[in-house]
Amino acid sequence: MRYKKITILCIVLMLVVSALAACSTSDGGKDAESGQNKGSNQTGTAGDNLLSPMEISVAQWGSDVWGQQSDDKWLDDLGKKFNVTFKPIALTWADWQDKLKIWAASGNLPDMFVHDFNTFEWGGQGLVKPIDIAQLQKYPNVRRNISDSLLEALTVDGQIYSIPRSLWPDASKALTLSGIYVQKSYLTKAGLSTPPETLDGWVDFLRKAVKDDYSGSGKTIGLGGIVDQIMINPFVPNYSSWIQEDGKWIPGYFSKHHIEALKFGRQLYKEGLIDKDFSIRKGGDIDKLFQQGRVASYANNTDPDMLSNQVTSDMKGITTAADYITLALPPQAADSKRYFPATQNFSTYTGFSSKISDEKLERILQILDYVGSPEGRIYSVYGEEGKDFEKEGDTIVSLLPKNENGKQKMLQDVYPSSGFGRWFLSWDVETAMTNVAHSPVIQQMSADFYDSVRSQTTIPDPDFQIQFMSTPAKDKLPDLNKAYTDMYTKVIMNDNDIEKAFEEWLDQQMKKASKAIEEVNARVAELK
């Protein structure tokens, strides 16, 4: 059997740089080198006969199937390195938040788990076990996932209550890879070689696509729902963060500039340029319609993992996503700048039950430090050398089977439990960009988009001190994103006065948020 060989010198160089960077952040060169090459060895490994056996319960999306296949020994093998038996607990995308709340209320949180709750609030309630910053510094591969400014913002009395699950293992490279998918054939029919660069250009493109029925189905859809980078970010670039407006810090959702975003959104909706059923679509519906060629554009991730999933078996003449998808940068705002959504390099955390012992927390940090090391990252992405992959110089050759479509399987396709290594500490987009399971075309497509965002857009710098500032009222703020999305959807779909509707919504939200805004601005004044 012949396996596809892809030279990945870039990943070798990246891992070397990662190792050197981590060494420079540790308290001692020798300890740091040990942490990078073997995972942290602060108290010895199982091979040293110094670690006592223990069980660790873990909850992550899809963890209910870990180890269920007879040949899925990935997590068991990881456990043997640290004399640990893992106990996976079921958690799905449909129920994860509700389950965690129930477990927290009943005192039955797993030893380690993913979550998106307010760490200050959960920490203050004694639900999660804190990590001393001095303790964190012993684990360079965990520490480098967190930027200095973010760590400072999350620290309370020398401790943090959870570990941010980063997109990038090196915080200095942090950038979300959300983007705008555009049908390449639609651009050609519209006489365009590249996606529109202005809001007016987008309106013109979408009008042509819908009016001239570019899909030939009689039901061509323009935008497949609310696309933030087209409909909101040009008006309020960093609206999901706290922003300074008229000399005061406020949640970005409250910006007066949302009125213009709502007017633009209504224009698109009333002209039929947005999917009329977007508010009632189920997850994945628009993905399928876009793949069928019926949607001009929609928002999706641009990492290689996602791009590799955009080709289905019934597509004729399509080899990779690059054959029919063009990735678009955000259109220009009124000041002619293209604003790309800023990122805090994470969206969720890994937390630890307050009931675990200090010894168990130390062991968990050792494990996370190992999976974040060059050796651990290779193990998490490619598996065991000689069994799952082999090296020929700087080339990694996958030994995993291919699927029914002839596509190279990824490690998690064969060993579902390897999701522990890939996602408890970091999504590791960096490694995904060079994963040999992806075609070179897809790797390059994602990397080029990343480079173009860096070089051609303006990325607002979120102020983590404000974003994660803990005050009594701010810690209790409800989910403003959901409230805003509900309001935006209703306003653009109806005929009510936009300014009045927004002001009424804002008045309702201020009843819950005014105290938080007052506390934040008072704290900022104290820090000056």
pLDDT, tens digit, 9 for 90 and up, residues 257-310: 999 999 999 999 999 999 999 999 988 899 999 999 999 999 999 988 899 889
Q: With b meaning 16 or more CB within 10 Å and e meaning fewer, what string describes 428-449?
A: bbbbbbbbbbbbeebbebbeeb
Whether residue 35 contacts residue 369, with contact meaning beta carbons closer than 8 Å, is answered with: yes
Task: Write out the two tokens for 62.
Answer: 């899809």
Confidence of residue 29 (pLDDT cuts 50, 70, 90): very low
Q: Which residue has the higher pLDDT, 135 or 8?
A: 135
Average pLDDT over residues 88-94: 88
Confidence of residue 18 (pLDDT cuts 50, 70, 90): very low
Question: Percentage of the chain with pLDDT > 70?
Answer: 87
pLDDT in tens, 188-200: 999 999 999 999 9
Query: E-assigned strands of 167-227?
Result: 178-183, 221-223
Averaged pLDDT of the chain: 86
> Is residue 87 scored above 60 in pLDDT?
yes
Q: How far is CA 264 from CA 219, 233, 236, 252, 488, in A?
A: 23, 12, 13, 18, 11
Confidence of residue 344 (pLDDT cuts 50, 70, 90): low
Confidence of residue 50 (pLDDT cuts 50, 70, 90): low
CA dihedral 297, 299, 301, 307 (to 10 degrees): -20
The conformational region for residue 77 under phi > 0 = left, psi -120 to 50 = alpha, else beta, is alpha
CA distance 490 to 505: 11
Number of other residues whose CB lies within 10 A of the CB of residue 393: 8
- Dihedral pair phi/psi, residue 444, rounded to 5°: -70, -40
Whether residue 396 contacts residue 431, with contact meaning beta carbons closer than 8 Å, is answered with: no
Q: Which residue has the higher pLDDT, 62 or 336?
A: 336
Q: Which residue has the higher pLDDT, 67 or 525?
A: 525
CA nearest to 457, candidates 336, 308, 300, 361: 336
pLDDT in tens, 428-469: 667 767 777 788 899 899 989 988 998 999 988 778 888 888
pLDDT in tens, 398-419: 999 988 777 788 898 899 999 8
Pairing of strands 295-301, 178-183: antiparallel
Confidence of residue 16 (pLDDT cuts 50, 70, 90): very low
Query: In this structure, which CATH number among 1.10.530.10, 3.40.190.10, 3.40.1640.10, 2.40.128.280 belongs to the domain 178-341+463-527?
Result: 3.40.190.10
Whether residue 165 contacts residue 346, with contact meaning beta carbons closer than 8 Å, is answered with: yes
**Amino acid 1: pLDDT:** 40
Average pLDDT over residues 466-486: 90
> Is residue 425 scored above 60 in pLDDT?
yes
> Is residue 384 scored above 70 in pLDDT?
yes
CA distance 410 to 336: 42
Whether residue 362 contacts residue 45, with contact meaning beta carbons closer than 8 Å, is answered with: no
CA distance 310 to 315: 10
Question: Percentage of the chain with pLDDT > 90?
Answer: 61
Average pLDDT over residues 520-524: 95
CA distance 452 to 447: 9
**Amino acid 30: pLDDT:** 34
172 Cβ contact partners less than 8 Å away, ≥ 6 residues apart: 147
CA distance 177 to 300: 9
Name the burial class of residue 297, with classes exposed (0-12), middle (13-18) and buried (19+) by CB atoms within 10 angstroms of its CB: buried
CA distance 8 to 382: 13
29-38 vs 374-382: helix crossing angle, rounded to 10:
10
Which residues make up the CATH 3.40.190.10 domain(s) of the chain?
5-47+54-174+345-438, 178-341+463-527
Q: Which residue has the higher pLDDT, 412 or 484?
A: 484
Q: Which of 1-15, 56-70, 457-471 is the least confident region?
A: 1-15
**Amino acid 186: pLDDT:** 99
Q: Which of 49-58, 286-295, 322-331, 500-509 is the least confident region?
A: 49-58
> Is residue 249 scored above 90 in pLDDT?
yes
Superfamily of domain 5-47+54-174+345-438: Periplasmic binding protein-like II (3.40.190.10)
Confidence of residue 351 (pLDDT cuts 50, 70, 90): very high
pLDDT in tens, 204-214: 999 999 999 99
**Amino acid 38: pLDDT:** 42
CA distance 110 to 66: 15
Average pLDDT over residues 227-239: 94
CA nearest to 123, candidates 475, 505, 492, 511: 475
Average pLDDT over residues 126-136: 96
